[in-house]
Amino acid sequence: MMPVQDIFTVAAVTLGSLFFLAGTVGLLRFPDTLTRLHALTKADNLGLGLVVLGLLPQVSSPLGWIGLIAVWLLALLAGATVGQLVAGAVRPPDGTPAQRGNPPA
Amino acid sequence: MSLTAPVDLGLALLLLGLAVWVIAASATYRAAEGFIAYGLVLALVWVRLGSVDVALTEAALGSGLTGLLLLRAAARLPPADPAERARPAKGVRVLAGLLCAVVTAGLAAVVLLLPEPAPTLAPAAAASLPATGVGNPVTGVLLAYRAVDTLGESIVLVLALIGLWSLAPDAAWGGRPGALTTAPAGSALRFLAQVLPPFGILVGIHLLWVGADHPGGKFQGATVLAAMWVLVIIAGLRRPPPVTSRATRWLVVVGSLIFVGIGAAGIWLAEAFLAYPDGLAKPLILAIEAALTLSVAVILGLLLAGPPEAERPTERRS
Amino acid sequence: MPEFLLAAAAFVLATVALGLVRVLRGPSDADRLLAAQLLGTGGVAALLLLGVATAEAAVGDLALVLTLLAAFASVGFVTGLGRADAADPRPEATAGGDPERPDEAGRGPG
């Protein structure tokens, strides 16, 4: 019988990997760039968070925990902001003349 | 651990696929984007090869900064650049392919035919490490055993910056570097450039500090710092300093100057250039690293910012 | 446990590879912007799994650097789109909404 931490790790990492799969399926199947961006930023970031959660019991030092959580928080911050940035490039916010000549696919 | 094989194989295939993409891409900026993805995957490969120091450098410098340089260069090309359309004659391409294959085969032969165990100085380097006071053998090699090479590299960086600045037309001398200017930044970009740099600075300083005993060090830390500075410039929150700015020039040379100074002091205190007196090795190494981090960060940022461009008094650049 | 983590890392890498294929071929340039973010999250997850599975220290630092540089690369992609693809000239002059900034020597990070 595996110890409780291992069961937790397996469950969380499996769930995280499934979210990564969902994100990629979204990337492959969604019709246009903005929806693909949505799949990427939401599902993949959640997958990363679950993976980090699952890895926490495997790392023994508190400094390691802080490191893992710092990575996840930074990824959330960067992902959210870059998502807005990319979306703005695809479809500029109202009132701004389109500077990038690429319409959403 | 048999399961590392599929991971390694997957990484290798992904890397090859990205490399093919970079070569086959029809437009320059697509190739640049593929190159950045390639660099990030290559960092993972370096981890699997046990070299986290190189992985850090690859991710930050090889992929991040170099990739941005390529992207900016591609963006400055006119839209229907004839060089993109023209392809070399078929014979030239076949010859190039053959030469690449021969070089690859040669490298593979060298690596695969190495005697077991491969000849290496690593045990000797590791054995002398405690005398230097640092725990990371890479840092020991860079700043203790082969410090003179690192000194040469830091001077070369200054020379590279001078070379880049010399590309400016005479009329533009004294202006601010202009390669990073861009269209007015939207709120998302400005927000990113306000929020990310504090974390980046922390990570950069952390890499410098931790590099004494763990993978990391001045170069990787400096690259992260430079990337954050470039981000701030791209978003229009700060303008790059004019090339005549004395403060900037001092920052550029301070690392090499301190390095040379400590090296020269070694002649009196420890019998040789760049020899460290007993017991003082670690503090001296840290001092050199701190000064170099500052200089290298400024130099890398300036290298990306490009040669100075003439100020136009009626137009403001973001 | 290490075997499971390695299998998970391989799985995540496979999803990243699939995503990259789709994104790099994407019909519009905007799709390719997603590539850096994909590697920034998926690649980091695979890296963390690999690091813990092989007990490689210091992958945490690399993960931080990868995240930062992926965001940085995305900025590069997005601003690189300002290429004169769409027949408007390179925007050298800016009307810009930013307030006047005091002319400090803007050197040094931040």
Residue C81 has a pLDDT of 61
CB contact under 8 A, C70 and B40: yes
Instruction: For residue range B162-219, list pLDDT tens digits in order.
Output: 999 888 888 878 778 877 776 666 788 888 888 889 999 999 999 988 888 888 888 8
A82 contacts in chain B (CB < 8 Å): 192
d(CA C45, CA C51): 10
Q: Quickly list DSSP for B172-229.
A: GTTSEE-TT--SPP-HHHHHHHHHHHHHHHHHHHHHHHHTTTSS--HHHHHHHHHHHH
Q: Which of C28, C63, C88 lies at the smallest CB-CB distance from A105?
A: C28
Instruction: For residue range B112-148, list pLDDT tens digits in order.
Output: 888 777 778 888 888 888 877 788 888 888 888 888 8
Nearest Cα of chain B lies from the Cα of C37 at a distance, in angstroms, of 10
When pLDDT is averaged across residues A55-83 and rounded to a whole number, the result is 86
The answer to the question of residue C47 being in a domain is yes
CB contact under 8 A, B199 and C68: yes
Residue B300 has a pLDDT of 92
Chains contacting B (3+ CB pairs below 8 angstroms): A, C
Residue from C11, C15, C18, C85 whose CB has the most chain A CBs within 10 Å, to mutate: C15
Reference A46, options A34, A54, A58; nearest CA is A54
Residue C37 has a pLDDT of 83
Residue A105 has a pLDDT of 41
- Report field, pTM of the whole predicted structure over 0.90: no
**SS3 call for B74:** helix
Start-to-end Cα distance in chain A: 51
CB contact under 8 A, C74 and A86: yes
CB contact under 8 A, B298 and C108: yes
CA distances from B235 to B182, B191, B267, C30 (A): 8, 9, 47, 19
The answer to the question of residue C17 being in a domain is yes
Kindly tell me if the per-residue pLDDT of C3 is higher than 60.
Answer: yes
Q: How many CB pairs under 8 A join B and C?
A: 233
The answer to the question of residue C16 being in a domain is yes
Q: How many domains does chain C have?
A: 1
CB contact under 8 A, C13 and B14: yes
Residue B217 has a pLDDT of 84
d(CA B25, CA B268): 57
Residue C107 has a pLDDT of 43
In the predicted model, residues of chain B with pLDDT beneath 70 are 1-2, 79-86, 182-185, 311-318
How far is C-alpha B136 from the geometric centre of its chain's CA atoms?
20
Residue of B nearest to A87 (CA): B188
Return the bridge partners of C94, or none.
Answer: B316
> To 5 degrees, how large is the angle CA A78–CA A79–CA A82?
80
C12 contacts in chain A (CB < 8 Å): 17, 20, 47, 51
Q: Which of A78, A82, A88 lies at the smallest CB-CB distance from B186?
A: A88
Residue A92 has a pLDDT of 67
Q: Pairing relation of β-strands B308-309 and B176-177? A: antiparallel
Residue B279 has a pLDDT of 77
d(CA B303, CA B162): 9
Residue B295 has a pLDDT of 93
Residue B183 has a pLDDT of 63
Query: If contacts are CB pairs under 8 Å, which of residues 20-59 in chain C contact chain A?
Result: 22-23, 26-31, 33-34, 36-38, 40-42, 44-45, 48-49, 52
Helix axis angle, C2-25 relative to B4-24, nearest 10°? 10
What ipTM, to 2 d.p.? 0.84
The answer to the question of residue C110 being in a domain is no
Enumerate the domain spans of chain A. Answer: 7-90
Nearest Cα of chain B lies from the Cα of C30 at a distance, in angstroms, of 11
Which structural domain, as residue segments, surrounds residue C9?
2-83
Reference B165, options B152, B178, B153; nearest CA is B178
**SS3 call for B108:** helix
Residue A48 has a pLDDT of 93
CB contact under 8 A, A44 and C4: no
Kindly tell me if the per-residue pLDDT of A25 is higher than 80.
Answer: yes
Q: Which of A45, A68, A102 lies at the smallest CB-CB distance from C41?
A: A45
Mean residue pLDDT across chain C: 72
Residue of A nearest to C10 (CA): A17
Residue B137 has a pLDDT of 83
